[in-house]
Amino acid sequence: MAVKISPSVLTSDFLELAKDIERLEKAGTDMLHLDVMDGIFVPNISFGVPIIKSIRKHTRLPLDVHLMITEPHRYIKDFAECSDILGFHYEAGSDNAETLKQIRSYGIKSCITIKPCTEPEEIFDLLPLCDMVLVMSVEPGFGGQKFMTSALDKLTVLRREIDRLGLDIMLEVDGGINKETAPLAVKAGADVLVAGSFVFSDQMEENVKLIKSLG
């Protein structure tokens, strides 16, 4: 399978972001991962629609928007206008099936995300409504955490079920991805890897190519 990389903008130097995006494009990056945090669902606050719209103006890369917010259904329309893939947390939603349908109604891809405490079987019934599933391999909210190996079993279970159902769903993993953990995640079934500090470093181009070579 072809492995895609989705660098996490949250770990970038925002004053250098335009230059970094240009470098990422030249290196063959597949999409950009944008973490939206509200300080309630997670204890951190990041950015919202205005920042994403600004990034949208400066790149043709698909924007992979990850909502870490409460009541995500209230904000789908606003974020759908500036996203290519829009995901929210299974644990934060009230009617997850309806929210996934709402995302697709705007002509973009839908994604459901699960925290480390959530078992993959809990979202099996939602898979037909998803274009991507995101497995968190750290607790959402802060970068720089250590990869949780429990995510590998979740990826394996989800990949098996996705294949059993014959669905065309990307399987994404986010948290602690580096040269040691990336091959493990791909072997477990992930085909989209979110990477933050591993990519936004002095070895940006080399590390993008390293992850993409795993497919």
Q: Does residue 35 carry a catalytic annotation?
A: yes
C-alpha to C-alpha distance for 211 and 215, rounded to whole angstroms: 8
C-alpha to C-alpha distance for 157 and 63, rounded to whole angstroms: 27
Please enumerate, as own/partner, the contacts of 142-150 that have beta carbons within 8 Å and a separation of 24 or more.
142/42, 142/43, 142/44, 143/8, 143/10, 143/11, 143/196, 143/197, 144/11, 144/196, 144/197, 145/175, 145/176, 146/176, 147/175, 147/176, 147/177, 147/178, 147/181, 148/116, 148/175, 148/176, 149/184, 150/116
Q: Considering 35, 38, 131, 191, which one is annotated as catalytic?
A: 35
Tokens (6 digits) for 134: 């995101």
C-alpha to C-alpha distance for 170 and 43, rounded to whole angstroms: 28
SS3 30: coil
Beta bridge partner(s), residue 195: 7
Q: Considering 20, 30, 64, 174, which one is annotated as catalytic?
A: 174
Residue with tokens 């669905």: 167
C-alpha to C-alpha distance for 116 and 146, rounded to whole angstroms: 12
Q: Does residue 78 carry a catalytic annotation?
A: no
- Catalytic residue numbers, as ranges: 35, 174
